Structure 1
Amino acid sequence: MQYINRLLFEEAIEESGEKVKLHGHYSGRAMFGERCLAVYGSITNLLAFHLYLGASLGDWRDLAEDVRIDQFGTDYIAYYPGWELAEDDD
C-alpha cells in the first residue's frame, strides 16, 4: 500500500475550485472488490486537480503510473489502486 498526504490531496481539490470530489473507497474495473482512493468530476477539472497535485508533490511518477480513469455517470473518475490517504508524511 502507498500513501499520499491527506492535506495535500484536499488542497489540490480546493485549488481545482472544489469541482472535484473525493471518493474514498472506490472499487474500479478488474479490482475484484478491492477499494482505493478516487476523485471524480469533469475531465477538465480532473486535469486541473492532477496538475496542481503533481506540482505540489514534486516527484509524482508513482501516482501518475497507477492512476486509472473511467466514466462515472456524466463525469469521470480517476482512481488509484493501491493508494490511501495518510494523515501526515510518515
Structure 2
Amino acid sequence: MSTEKQWEEAKSLYPLGAEVQATVKVKFPFGVFLELPGAPEVTGFLDIASYNPTTGPDPASLPDAGSPVDVVVSFHNERDKQIRVRVGPAAHHIANKETRDRA
C-alpha cells in the first residue's frame, strides 16, 4: 500500500493521457496488475475491457506476468490509490465507431 505522498508523486509522474511501458506483475481473468517505472509502491491496473490492442497479440488474451506492455493512463482511482490504464482505444470509442459504421 502506498503512502499519501507516494500516491501524489505517482499521479504527478503519470498524468492522464501519459504513455508508459509497464511490467505485468500478476495476471487474472479480469485484468492485470502492473508495476509502473519510478512508482513501484503504486499499483497500475489494466482491466480486460480496457485491453484493446490494434496490432500484435489477440485482444482476448491479456499479457502474461513479466511481460512489458505499452499503456496509456486513463484514470486515477483515488479510493484504491491505483493508476488505471488502457491499451488501444477506449472501449466507448470502439462502441461509438461500431454504431457509426452500422448507420
Give yes or no for TM over 0.5: no
Higher helix share: 1
Larger radius of gyration: 2
Higher relative contact order (CA 8 A, sep 6+): 1
TM-score w.r.t. structure 2 length? 0.23
Q: Output the TM-score relative to the length of structure 1.
A: 0.24
